[in-house]
């Protein structure tokens, strides 16, 4: 019975559902409300706080349900002369790749179902991984593949087609202009985004997000030590990647493809839930960018100083088992550790999403030429310089 | 209030390159366009984030000002531990209107509760929107000739100019209720009748039509 349960949970589709339905969709939906509420607070307003089910008000958090109901029941209007097939396909093309890309994100530690209630014996885990306590394991990552980050870039490039095809299929000059801007922006910033992560690759020697999160910058420090996370060792890479990733989400200050003041953008002809899919895709991209940055630069699912067997201050890495030992330890059951670490991941994602909202509501939007200048004349050379400097440091000092 | 008053930058006007001989007002000037970015983007971003974060934290953690302080612009505020949100949550909280705000009409009452209006037709005559309908009838009182049988105001046509109040010789119609015209689903329901306007009415202290001290008695008799 337990075996069947483990097999079901260990199935990729189950884990995908767990991640998407448990974290991504709720967070992305609530972000639509949080964005309006947070921006209101930043501008000395109150923001939406009225939606309620009877007396349940929750500060207006139910607005996302009201929005969804409104969008679903709106008239599904398709203008004349649009290419009907591509018009219907474009929102799917915008939404699906982001959901697929979550496959590479590790959203929790490896679970050993047979030792949930006991503290993990790290020495036994390293020396006898086949024993009963560790015989079954559930890895909270859908696909652990060596080319994880490449997969991410490849799949997110597909999301580009959503905007471009929407602009083309709409039979509207503004939409076409928005679609073209979308593709040019995505192409420009994808270069910088990919190269910004190459510094991390040089440090860790892997493109697998789970391995980057788990091993950190140095093998002599515990992976749960915040000083071991990549934000300290790749600060330039972090800023550059964050900038390029915000540009990829097509939001202010890089909202040229949507450009509300000038051209409305590639989804100008969309309404109802079709538009809602573009909107949701944008917010899921925010969550995804936050998840990637949390995984690569902020230790992924690691809570500071929480090792597999509990909180540890001090201690060192055993060179044989590659586990941290010694120090002052507060032992915790495996289940508690797993919950804490999965919660840490969710918390990091929420905080980084909020930070993206802060940036979106602080900076003014850029002109198209300023956008291209920043992308090609600043970000790209800086990423290349970052790679050079990182390589030199690795070569000379480590 | 944390409004930052900054001195306006000294402005000497654009640099004039050439002036037309025929009409000196036609000039060509040097247009200054922003060149290469001269700001440090990262520092400027950090500064901006600090400002927005300060506002967010303040508004998120500190309690709101009281409804009165928000509703009355310029009211003294104890700002120390209050946030800066000024939103008045309308149906529950209302802004205090100025005293002379012209709201929904009301018909004033006599001491015995009867309508004060004598159907003199001054207000429909003065009304520029033609929104007042009065059908007069004979009054029961011997001292008052007429009263309105029907007194209706179409609040959709009313432009809230207040001329009816100015025109009224006996303080029978007022607009000092401080209420808005309510939203309706049917135009017919926007018509205020005599009864609804009398329901808002109060007794007037003004003298009228021989009730109370009469001006003929109190005034000095004209000298012959």
What would the pLDDT profile of A85-133 be if each residue is shown by its tens digit?
Answer: 999 999 999 999 999 999 999 998 888 888 888 888 878 888 877 788 7
Give the integer Cα–Cα distance in Å for A93 and A248. Answer: 15
More confident residue, B186 or B2: B186
Do the chains contact at A41 and B48, CB–CB below 8 Å?
A: no
pLDDT at residue A237 in the model = 93
pLDDT at B75 exceeding the cut of 70: no
CA dist., res. B135 & res. B157, Å (int): 19
pLDDT recorded at residue B95: 79
Chain A positions in Cβ-Cβ contact with residue B56 (cut-off 8 Å): 38, 41-42, 358
Q: Which of A259-273, B71-85, B187-201 has the lowest mean pLDDT?
A: B71-85
Is the pLDDT score of B5 beyond 50?
Answer: no
CB A162 within 8 A of CB A86: no
Determine the average pLDDT of the residues in A126-148: 84
Pick A99 or A1 by higher pLDDT: A99
Partners of A138 in beta bridges: A111
Q: What pLDDT is recorded for position B2?
A: 40
Distance in Å, alpha carbon of A372 to nearest chain B alpha carbon: 13
Q: Are residues B113 and B185 in the same domain?
A: yes
Q: Does A41 touch chain B (CB under 8 A)?
A: yes
- Determine the Cα–Cα distance for residues B84 and B62; give it in Å rounded to an integer: 9
| pLDDT confidence band for A264 (50 / 70 / 90) | confident
**B82: containing domain:** 36-96
Q: How far is CA B4 from CA B1, B7, B8, B10, in A?
A: 9, 10, 12, 18
Mean predicted confidence (pLDDT) in B77-84: 72
B89/A36 Cα distance (integer angstroms): 17
Is residue B12 included in any domain, yes or no?
A: no
Do B172 and B153 fall within a single domain? yes
Q: Is residue A64 domain-resident?
A: no
Mean pLDDT value across residues B57-76: 78
A123 touches chain B (CB under 8 A): no
pLDDT at B220 over 80: no
Q: Is residue B179 one of the residues assigned to a domain?
A: yes
Q: Is there a contact between B119 and B147 (Cβ–Cβ < 8 Å)?
A: yes
**Structure tokens, A247:** 């540009």
**DSSP run (H or E) holding A331:** strand A328-331
Tell me, yes or no, whether B112 and B189 share the same domain.
yes
Which tokens sit at B106?
Answer: 């009301």
Q: Given CB atoms, is B43 within the 8 Å cutoff of chain A?
A: no
* Best residue in A40, A41, A371 for a mutation probing chain B (most B CBs within 10 Å): A41
Contact B103, B178 (CB under 8 A): yes
**In this structure, are residues A286 and A353 in contact, taking their beta carbons and an 8 Å threshold?**
yes
| pLDDT value of residue A393 | 92
The confidence score (pLDDT) of residue B76 equals 65
Q: Does B96 touch chain A (CB under 8 A)?
A: no
Q: Does the structure show a pLDDT above 60 at B63? A: yes
**Burial of residue B146, with CB atoms counted within 10 A of its CB: 0-12 exposed, 13-18 middle, 19 or more buried:** middle
| Mean predicted confidence (pLDDT) in A290-313 | 90
pLDDT score, position B208: 57
Indicate whether A238 belongs to any domain. yes
What is the pLDDT of chain B when averaged over all its residues? 81
- A153 to chain B, any CB pair closer than 8 A? The answer is no
CA distance A291 to A303: 15
Say if residue A13's pLDDT is above 70.
yes
- Residue B11 pLDDT greater than 80, yes or no: no
CATH number at B174 reads 3.30.70.3270
pLDDT score at A135? 80
DSSP label of A355: H
Cβ B53–A359 below 8 Å, yes or no? no
- Domain count of chain A? 1
The domain in which residue A122 lies consists of 77-397
Nearest Cα residue in chain A from B84: A44
Rounded CA Rg of chain B: 30
Q: What is the pLDDT of residue A353?
A: 94
User: B57 and B128 share a domain?
Assistant: no
Confirm whether B159 is domain-assigned. yes
Query: Which H or E run contains A35?
Result: helix A25-42
pLDDT above 60: residue B98: yes
Q: Read out DSSP for chain B?
A: ------PPPP---PEEEEE-SS-TT-EEEE-----S--S-HHHHHHHHHHHHHHHHHHHHHSPPPPHHHHHSTT-----TT--------TTTS-PPPPTT---S-EE-B-TTS-B------HHHHH-TT--EEEEEEE-SSSS--EEEEEEEEETTT-----HHHHH-TTS-EE-TT--PPPP-SSGGGGEE-HHHHHHT--B--S-BTTBSS-HHHHSPPPP-
Of B208, B216, B219, the closest CA to residue B141 belongs to B208
Are A325 and A312 contacting, i.e. CB atoms less than 8 angstroms apart?
A: no
Residue A44 forms part of a structural domain:
no
| Chain mean pLDDT for chain A | 88
Sign of CA dihedral B46, B49, B55, B59: negative
* Burial class for B45, CB neighbours closer than 10 Å (0-12, 13-18, 19+): middle
Taking the Cβ of residue B52 and every Cβ of chain A, the question of whether any pair is shorter than 8 Å is answered with yes
- The alpha carbon of residue A249 and the mean position of all alpha carbons in its chain are separated, in whole angstroms, by 11
Q: What is the pLDDT of residues A149-161, one digit of tens each?
A: 999 999 988 888 8
Quick check: A220 pLDDT over 50? yes
Chain A contact set for B87 (CB, 8 A): 45-46
Q: What is the pLDDT of residue B74?
A: 65
Q: Which residue has the tokens 């366009």?
A: B33
C-alpha A382: how far from chain center: 23
Domain end among B76, B96, B116: B96
Of B52, B84, B86, the CB nearest to A361: B52
User: Over 90: is that where the pLDDT of B153 sits?
Assistant: yes
Contact B53 A358 (CB under 8 A): yes
- Phi, psi (deg, nearest 5) at residue A302: -80, 130
Dihedral-angle region of residue A275 (phi above 0 means left; psi in -120 to 50 means alpha; beta otherwise)? alpha
Cα–Cα distance for residue pair A164/A186, rounded to 1 Å = 10
Highest mean pLDDT out of A99-113, A251-265, A312-326: A99-113
- What is the model's pLDDT at position A267? 87
Inform me whether the pLDDT recorded for A143 exceeds 50.
Answer: yes
Q: Is A78 exposed, middle or buried (0-12, 13-18, 19+ CB in 10 A)?
A: middle
- Residue A69: pLDDT band (50, 70, 90) is very high
- Are B128 and B191 within one domain? yes
pLDDT of residue B136: 94
The pLDDT of residue B10: 45
Tell if the CB–CB gap between A41 and B55 is shorter than 8 Å. Answer: yes
* pLDDT band (50, 70, 90) for residue B77: low
Q: Given a cut of 60, is residue B215 above it in pLDDT?
A: no
Q: Which residues contact A252 (CB under 8 A, 6 or more apart)?
A: A360, A361, A363, A364, A365
Question: Could you tell me if B92 and B112 lie in one domain?
Answer: no
B57 and B138 fall within a common domain = no
* Residue/partner pairs of A327-334 with CB below 8 Å, 24 or more apart: A331/A119, A332/A119, A332/A306, A333/A116, A333/A117, A333/A118, A333/A119, A334/A111, A334/A112, A334/A115, A334/A116, A334/A117, A334/A118, A334/A119, A334/A120, A334/A308
């Amino acid at each position: 019975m337990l075996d069947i349960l483990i097999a079901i949970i260990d199935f990729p589709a189950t884990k995908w559902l767990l991640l998407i339905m448990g974290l991504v969709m709720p967070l992305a939906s609530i972000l639509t409300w949080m964005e309006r509420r947070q921006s209101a607070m930043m501008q000395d307003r109150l923001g939406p706080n009225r939606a309620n089910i009877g007396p349940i008000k929750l500060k207006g958090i139910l607005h996302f349900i009201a929005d969804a109901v409104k969008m679903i029941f709106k008239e599904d209007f398709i203008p004349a002369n649009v290419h009907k097939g591509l018009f219907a396909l474009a929102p799917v093309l915008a939404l699906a790749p982001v959901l697929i890309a979550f496959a590479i994100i590790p959203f929790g530690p490896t679970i050993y179902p047979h030792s949930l209630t006991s503290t993990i014996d790290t020495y036994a885990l390293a020396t006898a991984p086949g024993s009963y306590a560790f015989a079954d394991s559930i890895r909270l990552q859908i696909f652990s593949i060596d080319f994880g980050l490449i997969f991410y870039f490849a799949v997110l490039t597909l999301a580009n087609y959503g905007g471009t095809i929407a602009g083309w299929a709409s039979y509207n000059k503004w939409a076409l202009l928005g679609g073209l801007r979308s593709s040019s922006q995505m192409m420009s910033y994808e270069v910088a985004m990919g190269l910004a992560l190459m510094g991390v690759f040089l440090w860790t020697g892997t493109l697998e997000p789970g391995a980057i999160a788990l091993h950190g910058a140095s093998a002599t420090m515990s992976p749960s030590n915040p000083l071991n996370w990549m934000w300290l060792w790749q600060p330039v890479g972090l800023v550059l990647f964050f900038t390029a990733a915000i540009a990829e989400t097509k939001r202010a200050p890089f909202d040229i493809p949507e450009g509300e003041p000038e051209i409305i953008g590639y989804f100008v002809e969309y309404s109802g839930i079709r538009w809602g899919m573009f909107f949701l895709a944008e917010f899921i991209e925010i969550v995804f960018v936050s998840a990637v940055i949390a995984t690569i630069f902020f230790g992924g699912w690691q809570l500071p100083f929480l090792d597999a067997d509990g909180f540890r201050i001090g201690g060192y890495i055993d060179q044989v088992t590659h586990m941290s030992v010694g120090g002052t330890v507060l032992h915790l059951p495996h289940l508690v550790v797993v919950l804490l670490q999965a919660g840490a991941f969710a918390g990091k994602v929420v905080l980084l999403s909020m930070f993206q909202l802060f940036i979106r509501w602080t900076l003014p939007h850029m002109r198209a030429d300023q956008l291209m200048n920043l992308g090609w004349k600043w970000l790209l050379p800086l990423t290349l310089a970052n790679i050079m400097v990182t390589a030199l440091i690795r070569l000379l000092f480590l | 209030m944390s409004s930052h008053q900054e001195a306006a930058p000294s402005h000497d006007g654009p640099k004039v390159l050439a002036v037309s001989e025929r009409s000196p007002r036609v000039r060509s000037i040097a247009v200054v366009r922003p060149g290469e970015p001269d700001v440090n983007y990262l520092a400027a971003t950090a500064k901006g984030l600090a400002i927005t974060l300060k506002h967010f934290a303040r508004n998120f953690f500190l309690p709101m000002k009281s409804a009165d302080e928000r509703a009355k612009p310029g009211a003294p505020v104890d700002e120390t531990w209050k946030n800066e949100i000024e939103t008045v949550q309308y149906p529950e909280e209302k802004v205090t209107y100025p005293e002379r705000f012209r709201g929904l009409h009301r018909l004033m009452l006599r001491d015995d509760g009867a309508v004060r209006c004598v159907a003199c037709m001054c207000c429909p005559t003065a009304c520029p929107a033609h929104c007042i309908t009065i059908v007069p009838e004979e009054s029961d009182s011997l001292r008052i000739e007429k009263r309105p049988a029907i007194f209706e105001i179409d609040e959709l046509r009313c432009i809230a100019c207040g001329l009816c109040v100015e025109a009224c010789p006996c303080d029978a119609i007022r607009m000092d209720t401080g209420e808005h015209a309510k939203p309706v689903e049917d135009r017919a329901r926007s018509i205020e009748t005599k009864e609804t306007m009398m329901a808002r009415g109060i007794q007037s202290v003004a003298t009228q039509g021989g009730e109370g001290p009469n001006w003929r008695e109190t005034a000095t008799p004209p000298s012959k």
